[in-house]
Each structure stands twice: as structure tokens, then as C-alpha cells.
Amino acid sequence: MRTSSRKTLAGAAVILTLICVGVLNGLAPTEAAGQLTRFLPQSNSRTPAATTPNRTQTIDIHGHVITGTHSGPSILEVRFETDGSQIIGFAYANTSGEFFFQKSGITVVSSVYVVVNLEGYAPYRERVINSGPGPGAFDATLSIFLEPAKTFDEAQGGNAPVVDANPPRTKIPGKAIDEYEKAMKEAANGNPAKAVEGLQRAVKIAPDFYDAQQSLGIQYTALQRFQEAEDALVRARNLSPNSGSPLINLGALYFKQGQVQSDAGHSEEAAALYSKAVGFLNEAVRKFPSSAAYSNLGAALYKIGEYERARISLNRALEIDDNEDSASLVLINVYVKLARYDDALEEIGRYLARNPNSPQRASLESIQTQIQKLLKK
């Protein structure tokens, strides 16, 4: 039985809704249906994904600030701002660390930052990744770990280094930020090629611009320019070695490459790339144990046939965030592979309860019907 509690995670600050590029392409629920063809006939119909974007132009962010203590301050300010530190608005966490921020009437793409400053803890500033239904909408769920402020170890003569768990905050020229923000608008509007052009200009001006390097890697991956994507993501990783985001996106990159090789009929090359993805994602869950990291790891393990490990990883993702729909979809496939059909039916039911209008609904209902017929035999 999945628990709904969010367990305390060790390590660096975590943003749970990091969206990685292309992780589930080729892992739609219809793949699970394909595993049942040994037992029952099935429909070949697929339900196309919705193409009409939701343009609500509303920021809707839920979150939880975790300090590692039993209770936080009575009022904790959570600030939201743009790349250029322009204030968007504020939220105030309660004594449990929970907060909610909503603002309507403005257009936001991917350039919102969450900022928390609490005495005794390292400053926190991370970009919030949009998981909204389309351009103009901004929807995210965050879990923010505040790291205790680092001090020199007096027992070692004050020579111990100060470790900053957050990405480097180098001074970024305004022109680079402008190029980055314009590129993110192109990305949100589904124009990765134009986004790449803007991000290239941004990193030419500011090579140490961490967010631009990471975004460049993501957009290159979308264009299947894999070597350039790898180069950009490795640079991002080097700029912020204590961040899990580049590790997750490198895993997603190798996963996508594996899909391309698999589609071309190169099964050995695909398996090697999926295994490489597993390596980076294993590192990500050790250093940055977010729902996104576990979800991506589960998808990669599924692809190399390690179904039991995939099941454990995907359930861990859903323990952290029970709205991690990508993990739920892959878990359905895993349960079918393991012939755990009751569990597959239960997971389908949970997914459809959360997403009654999902474009995957017809496919999932088809799987339900096939499993139910199989269980009656």
C-alpha cells in the first residue's frame, strides 16, 4: 500500500517537479496493452495527445519548506521572482512549512525562481520548472530543503571548505538574461530550434550561466542533437556539482538516445544507452532523491528489463509525490510485465481518478478490460 506521507530526504535542496525531456516517449500505457497480446486480442487504436494548450495565464504553486527541525518560524516568507530578480510576489509558509502561491493575469513561461532566506540556513534560490498544461499556465509542486549554514571547522584550524549546496550565483550580464528569457518563451511555445539560438547567444555572453547551459541541453535533446546536448549538460553539471538536475537530464538524454536506437532496430546499442541512463539516474537519487529522479530511474530500469527494481523506484517516486503521473503510467507497464494484474488495475484506477480527462483514458480503459477478461479465465 502506497503511503501518502512525504518522508524526509537527505542531502541538497529539492524541487520535486523537475520535468525531464522525453522520458516517457515510447512508454505510453498502450505499451502495457501490447504485453497482453499473448493472452487476449487487443485494439491497435491509440488516443492522440491533446494539442490545444491551456492558456489560463495563472501561476499556481504549492510547496513545503523543510528545515530539519520540528517546526519552522511562525511566518516564513517565500519569494517568487524572475531571472533578473524582479519580484513576482510572495507566499508565507505556516509552522508546518506549507505554502501556496497563486497569481492571475500575467503570462509566465519557465523563468520563475523561488527564493527563501532564513537565518541559520544557506540562502535558497532555484528555478521552478513549469509542469502546467500548456504555454501561459504555470503549475508546480515544490519541496524545499534548507541546508544549515556551513561554517569553518575550527577543529581543523579553519581550513575546511565552505560547501554551497545551491548552484553558483555568478553575476550574469543583463543581455544574457534577456536572451535566456526570450529563448524560454520560444521553448514554451514549442520552438526548440529558436530556443537553442537564443540560449547559444546567452551562453556566448555568459559561459557560466548555469540555467542557460542546462536549458540548452534540454532543447538540444528535444531536437535530437545528442552530442551537443551532452556537452551542455556536462557543463551545467560542472557548474553545479551539488545539483541533481543535470544528472536527471543526462539520464533523460541517454534514455532518449536509447529510444532512437531502439526504433531503428539497434537493440544492443539501445540497451547500452538505457544502462548509461540508469547509471546517471542512480547517482541522481543518491544525491538528489526527488520524485522526478526516482520516476526517471524507474523508466530506464523498465527499459532494460529490471522490472522489480523499476517497481521499487516508481513506488518511491509516488511516495514522495503521489501526483507524479509519469511514474504511475510506467508503473502500470511494470505491473503487467510482472503479471501483477490486480496491482495494474489498482494503479489504473488511481491514475484515472486523478486525471479523469486524460488523453490516455481510452488506452487505459482498454488495458483494464483486457486484464479483467484475463483474470476471469
Q: Do 79 and 115 form a contact (C-beta atoms < 8 A)?
A: yes
Q: Do 129 and 140 form a contact (C-beta atoms < 8 A)?
A: yes
The residue behind cell 504555454 is: 135
* Residue type, position 313, single letter: S
Cell numbers found for residue 141: 509542486
Helices 210-222, 192-205: inter-axial angle, 10-degree rounding: 150
Q: What is the pLDDT of residue 17?
A: 26
Query: Which residue, 75, 100, 74, 73, is CA-closest to 89?
Result: 100
Percent over 90 (pLDDT), the chain = 31
Q: Which residues pair with 112 in a beta bridge?
A: 128
Q: What are phi and psi of 144, to 5 degrees?
A: -110, 120
Asked if residue 80 has pLDDT above 70, the reply is: yes
The residue behind cell 546499442 is: 269
Residue 52 gets the label, from left (phi > 0), alpha (psi -120 to 50) or beta, of beta
Helix (H/G/I), strand (E/B), else coil: 348 = helix
Q: Do 37 and 88 form a contact (C-beta atoms < 8 A)?
A: no
Count the helices and strands in the chain (H runs, E runs). Answer: 12, 7
Q: Which residues pair with 93 in a beta bridge?
A: 76
Q: pLDDT averaged over the chain?
A: 75
Asked if residue 329 has pLDDT above 80, the reply is: yes
- In this prediction the pTM is 0.59
Q: What is the pLDDT of residue 57?
A: 56
pLDDT, tens digit, 9 for 90 and up, residues 275-306? 999 999 999 888 878 888 899 999 999 999 99
Average pLDDT over residues 215-220: 91
Q: What is the pLDDT of residue 47?
A: 37
Cα-to-chain-centroid distance, residue 314: 13
Question: d(Cα 84, Cα 272) in Å, to the nearest integer?
Answer: 41
Question: d(Cα 162, Cα 250) in Å, to the nearest integer?
Answer: 27
Q: What is the pLDDT of residue 342?
A: 93
Q: Do 123 and 166 form a contact (C-beta atoms < 8 A)?
A: yes
Average pLDDT over residues 38-45: 36
Q: Do 325 and 45 form a contact (C-beta atoms < 8 A)?
A: no
pLDDT, tens digit, 9 for 90 and up, residues 149-179? 643 333 333 333 322 334 455 578 889 888 9
> Which residue would you say has higher pLDDT here, 266 or 109?
266
